[in-house]
Amino acid sequence: MPCDLILALDVPTREEAAPILRQLRGQLRWVKIGLQMFTAYGPDYVREVAGLGFSVFLDLKLHDIPNTVAKAVESLGPLPIRMLTLHTAGGGEMMRAARAAQQKTNPDLLLLGVTVLTSMDSAGLNEIGVVSPSAEQVARLGKLAADSGLRGLVCSPLEVALLRQKLPADIQLVTPGIRPAGEAGNDDQKRIMTPAEAARSGSTYIVVGRPILKAADPAAAARAILAELGSEGLNN
């Protein structure tokens, strides 16, 4: 299964993002806009990034009562977005309501269920009352999402192989927590893997932020990651 690269546009301001996006036009297809940038600049910024030719992954991790999440999906549906996240911990009813709203307002939008954040490990889960190991919790939430009609998940790359065994083959898996070979991982993500390892495990998309954003040449950094994926025969 081919694996594609998504840039996590996790920077403080649109002014900081602008030169990076200019350099990356034509180099990669996908850009993820998260809660920080969306809160700061709103729907117009989504339109701006899409207008540069990027496919937009809007990462808001919606989590509320079913009706509220459904209404949020309806509100976001007209935007030029290709992916949107919600928390699987919201439960089956919430995910089914979101799916129904998505089908009504934006049939081509891929709803992605977030399983366990890559900043959390089993100890962090225990703090909030989840006694299962992280991999077991990911598998449980992933099956719930698939049974609720979602066709994509966000998970750590360490759980991709497990989910590929347990879920339908057409489920798309998006994996943050990616570090190029030799890249230091001194940030808040704990369950990490290299691009080639994630692709071999069965990721559909990998999400990379700091290794591109902080590079002296972001376009060269993106090309290197794509080359790493291509060296595995997965970026053709």
Which residues have a catalytic role annotated?
Answer: 61
Q: What does the DSSP assignment read for 150-208?
A: --EEE--GGGHHHHHHHS-TT-EEEE--B--TT----SS--S-B-HHHHHHHT-SEEEE
User: Cα separation of 188 and 192, whole Å?
Assistant: 10
Q: Indicate the DSSP class of residue 127.
A: H
Tell which residue, 167, 152, 72, 70, has the closest CA to residue 112: 152
Tell which residue, 204, 112, 190, has the closest CA to residue 158: 190
Between β-strands 205-208 and 83-87, what pairing exists: parallel, antiparallel or unpaired? unpaired
